[in-house]
Chain A
Amino acid sequence: MLSQISENGHATLPALATKSWGRPGVAVSSPGDDTEPKRKIIAIGGGKGGIGKSMIAANIGVYFAQSGCRVVTVDADLGGANLHTCLGVDVPEATLTDFIARRVGSLADVVTPTLVPRLGLISGALDFLAAANPKYTQKLRLIRAISRLDVDYIIIDLGGGTGFNILDFFLIADYGVLTVIPEPTSIENAYRFIKAAYYRRLKMAELPWNVKPIVEQALDAPGAQGLKTPADLVRTVERQSPEAASKLREELERFPLRLVVNQIRSAEEERLGAAICAACRKYFGIRVEYLGCLPYDDAVWKSVRARRPVLVEAPESRVSHSIKAIAASFGQDKL
């Protein structure tokens, strides 16, 4: 299918959309229309593997595609890509590796159609040796290309861990979604992820010239590992410069995270999401918006085994309804 598209010379997504996976006649957004809000990037992270990031990313993508939007899901799990399996796509011919290695002209060339109309997939690098650690310039080029894709929604499925490559994809997103499951390991990694993402953001942030050195000094200071939370950092900086600290607080305020709790089995666990948000506010000084939870549902593993998104395989299951509710909440907030 991909080669077909390339042969036809459709290098960009609008053409692609009408040709193979767009529904003719459904105008979603026209290129160059500045009044319409541009494409939204949603990144699904969580710092730990096996917590349902790919499942959630795939199904949120399905939801938007089914509601008539053009969507590309990006498997940015450069070392352990499996989003294609969640979407029922065979090992794609072209992957991110081809883009990184410049074997293809544009990112649109590595978009693989899925069984859901309007939903495309950019698969992660399967030969990860080459691409699991892209050079900085390669990564910038990739990030630029992702944010230029001409679609309505870009859903990025992040790998586990808190490496810079993962954090940088997370930080370019309009919606950074953190996934956790009710297990201590997941909670611990989630907090680690929040901290790492926040510090990374501060490093990259455009802070006033007189604030930045103080922040960097605090981040790089010996014993900076002792800085437990962003709130600690603010306090450290405050000792140097109250003005810098207030800038940091503004940055904290502007760092809206979203949270999804997956694999909920009891009413007690349902309260976990709100508890994590409260803990983040209290201990990190970070605002986290709780999007909702997904029940532990056999429909999920059944659909994985059938290699089809659960929204397609079991649209009336409890988990499908929950996913739809969560996906529908994007764009409704003012964060």
Chain B
Amino acid sequence: MATQDDVIDFYQVLEVERSASTEEVEQAYRRILETLGGGGLALYSLIDETDYDAWRERVALAYRTLVDPIRRLAYDQSVHSTTYCTPWVVDQSDSTSQTSKRHAEPAELVEDRGVRQEQGGAETEDVSDQTLSEHSASTRSKSTLRPSYPSTPPQPSMATPDVKSAGRRFVPSPDIVLNDQTEFTGALLRRLRDSAGASVSDIAEVTNISRNYLRAIESQDFEALPAAVYVRGFVAEYARVLCLEPKRVTSSFMELYKRASVGER
């Protein structure tokens, strides 16, 4: 079950090491492009045809992210250290204080993130397992504990100027209160996006996800969406540019996706 529900791993998409240099990323991308010669016919029966477009989109996204040092740093810190904290996400002028500048964000959520980070530091590799354990572990009682950081550096390190300038982010209105129990439906995502003053096109531009897919996510039109693994990636990206915690949003949204596909059967 590990692969199906994984967050998109851009390194895996391009089949490069985490430590790959920009040149290696470029080479890997060129190798994939080569296989697209002849109208993509060479990939027939190697890659699921129904997911072909989604796959191409994913490769392009992975490349654009990893080849750009700034985006890559942002991606690494957001996914592979699983730290989602607010400083780099908030485009305030003053970022000296690392505790959430995220306006009226509920305190538990912030604390809870600290707990996650701790877990993330312990197991950065197996993303899917982490998603599961994290789900069960992030109880309210735990979230009141002040976490320690055994292996990952504390949050301030993320507030580097580089990261701050990486990609555009849209900050939803703090009036929409989010907590542990929040169900991230398509409608809620749209509300958050609207409140952040971003259009679907804005999101599409930043995430490289097609507008049609974004609209399908917002309207929970699961039939119009590709396989679960891609949807998860799209939703994670979407959440990221909305300054939301991708893991929380994807696990909640994918729950809906699963329920819908079970209902179909």
- Name A's B-contacting residues (CB within 8 A): 182-184, 187-188, 191-192, 268-276, 278-279, 281-283
Residues of A near B42 (CB, < 8 A) are: 187, 272, 275-276, 278-279
Q: Identify 19 residue pairs between A and B in the complex whose beta-carbon atoms are under 8 Å apart, listed by A's number.
A: A184-B44, A187-B42, A187-B44, A187-B45, A191-B45, A191-B46, A268-B39, A270-B38, A271-B38, A272-B39, A274-B34, A274-B37, A275-B35, A275-B40, A276-B38, A276-B42, A279-B42, A282-B15, A282-B32
Shortest CB-to-CB span from A183 to chain B, Å, is 8
Asked, given contacts A282-B31, A282-B32, whether A188 binds B38 with beta carbons under 8 Å apart, the answer is no
Residues of B near A278 (CB, < 8 A) are: 31, 34-35, 37, 42
Residues of A near B39 (CB, < 8 A) are: 268-269, 272
Whole-angstrom CA separation of A268 from B38 in the bound complex = 5
B41 lies within 8 A of chain A by Cβ: yes
Shortest CB-to-CB span from B59 to chain A, Å, is 12
B229 lies within 8 A of chain A by Cβ: no
Residues of A near B43 (CB, < 8 A) are: 275, 279
Determine if A279 and B35 form an interchain contact, defined as CB atoms under 8 angstroms apart.
yes
Residues of B near A182 (CB, < 8 A) are: 38, 41
Shortest CB-to-CB span from A118 to chain B, Å, is 37
Chain B: residues with Cβ within 8 Å of the partner, total of 16
Whole-angstrom CA separation of A271 from B32 in the bound complex = 13
Determine if B37 and A271 form an interchain contact, defined as CB atoms under 8 angstroms apart.
yes
Shortest CB-to-CB span from A185 to chain B, Å, is 9
B36 lies within 8 A of chain A by Cβ: yes
Whole-angstrom CA separation of A198 from B166 in the bound complex = 46
Whole-angstrom CA separation of A182 from B36 in the bound complex = 13
Asked, given contacts A275-B36, A279-B46, whether A184 binds B41 with beta carbons under 8 Å apart, the answer is yes
Identify the closest chain B residue to A283 (Cβ): B46
Identify the closest chain A residue to B36 (Cβ): A275
Chain A CB count within 10 A is highest, among B15, B32, B39, B42, for B42
Residues of B near A188 (CB, < 8 A) are: 44-45
Shortest CB-to-CB span from A18 to chain B, Å, is 47
Residues of B near A282 (CB, < 8 A) are: 15, 31-32, 35
Residues of B near A274 (CB, < 8 A) are: 34, 37
Whole-angstrom CA separation of A275 from B36 in the bound complex = 6
Residues of B near A275 (CB, < 8 A) are: 34-38, 40-43
Shortest CB-to-CB span from A255 to chain B, Å, is 18
Shortest CB-to-CB span from B107 to chain A, Å, is 46
Within 8 A of A (CB), among B95-117: none
Determine if A269 and B38 form an interchain contact, defined as CB atoms under 8 angstroms apart.
yes
Whole-angstrom CA separation of A187 from B36 in the bound complex = 13
Residues of B near A273 (CB, < 8 A) are: 38
- State the 10 A-B residue pairs at the shortest beta-carbon distance, nearest first: A272-B38, A271-B37, A275-B37, A275-B42, A278-B34, A188-B45, A279-B35, A278-B35, A276-B42, A187-B44
Residues of B near A279 (CB, < 8 A) are: 35, 42-43, 46
Whole-angstrom CA separation of A278 from B37 in the bound complex = 9
Whole-angstrom CA separation of A272 from B35 in the bound complex = 8
Contact with A along B28-60 (1 / 0, CB 8 A): 000110111111111111100000000000000
Contact with A along B240-261 (1 / 0, CB 8 A): 0000000000000000000000
Identify the closest chain A residue to B34 (Cβ): A278
Chain B CB count within 10 A is highest, among A272, A275, A282, for A275
Shortest CB-to-CB span from B195 to chain A, Å, is 43
Asked, given contacts A278-B31, A282-B31, A282-B32, whether A272 binds B45 with beta carbons under 8 Å apart, the answer is no
Known: A275-B38, A275-B41, A276-B38; 12 extra A-B contacts, CB below 8 A, are A182-B38, A183-B41, A269-B39, A269-B41, A271-B37, A272-B38, A276-B42, A278-B31, A278-B34, A278-B42, A282-B32, A282-B35
Chain A CB count within 10 A is highest, among B34, B36, B37, B45, for B37
Identify the closest chain B residue to A191 (Cβ): B45
Determine if B31 and A187 form an interchain contact, defined as CB atoms under 8 angstroms apart.
no
Identify the closest chain B residue to A271 (Cβ): B37
Residues of B near A269 (CB, < 8 A) are: 38-39, 41
Whole-angstrom CA separation of A146 from B34 in the bound complex = 38
Residues of B near A184 (CB, < 8 A) are: 41, 44-45
Whole-angstrom CA separation of A269 from B40 in the bound complex = 10
Shortest CB-to-CB span from A182 to chain B, Å, is 6
Shortest CB-to-CB span from B39 to chain A, Å, is 6
Whole-angstrom CA separation of A192 from B46 in the bound complex = 10
Identify the closest chain A residue to B45 (Cβ): A188
